[in-house]
Amino acid sequence: MTTDHQQAIRAARAAINDAIDRRDSEGVAAFFMPTYHVVTARSMHRDGKDQSRRSWADMFERDKGGTYGRTPDEIYVNDDWGMAEEHGRWSATIKAIDGLLEVAGVYAAKWHFTAEGWMLEAEIFTPLTVVRP
């Protein structure tokens, strides 16, 4: 069963990446639990699905050319408790005051299996490189 759950989480992550590419904050937030919490690459905290959805919408409006992506490396599943941990790499190209930044790093995500499928409870993003192209 673990392999099926890992595939489902990878599919959910792909759907989130697709929603980001389409600049669809509702599509991104569709995978957040109501109590979702994120620590961003700049150590900003967002509490709750609604606050995070608004943050994505604001970011899409503010930076119309920004790109964001996450690539899962490992997914660990506890079948009995319906929980999973995803570790992966992320990258972004964002507009800064003085030009573009290419930022990349690692992330960890905690997933819960619910009646709606796999949903994100929390994510933490750590930047490892920042480059001005």
Sign of the torsion angle spanned by Cα atoms 121, 127, 128, 133: positive
Quickly list H helices, 22-105: 25-29, 49-62
The reported pTM is 0.94
Query: What pLDDT is stored for residue 5 in this prediction?
Result: 96
Q: What CATH number is given to the structural domain containing 27?
A: 3.10.450.50
Number of domains in the chain: 1
Burial of 27 (0-12, 13-18, 19+ CB in 10 A): middle
CA 58 → CA 61, 62, 76, 83, distances in Å?
5, 6, 32, 30
How far apart (Å, rounded) are the C-alpha atoms in residues 66 and 18?
A: 14
pLDDT band at 122; cut points 50, 70, 90: very high
Q: Which two tokens stand for residue 46?
A: 């967002």
> What are 2's two structure tokens?
């673990």
pLDDT digits (tens, 9 = 90+) for 64-113: 889 999 999 999 999 999 999 999 999 999 988 888 999 999 999 999 99
Task: Inform me whether the pLDDT recorded for 2 exceeds 80.
Answer: no
**Domain that includes residue 111, residue range:** 2-131
**H/E stretch holding 20:** helix 2-21
Decide if 13 contacts 87 (C-beta within 8 A): no
User: What one-character DSSP code corresponds to residue 69?
Assistant: E
pLDDT tens for 22-62 read 999 999 999 999 999 999 999 999 999 999 999 999 999 99
Note the pLDDT tens digit of each residue in 52-67: 999 999 999 999 889 9
Q: Two tokens at 125? A: 């993003």
Q: What is the pLDDT of residue 78?
A: 97
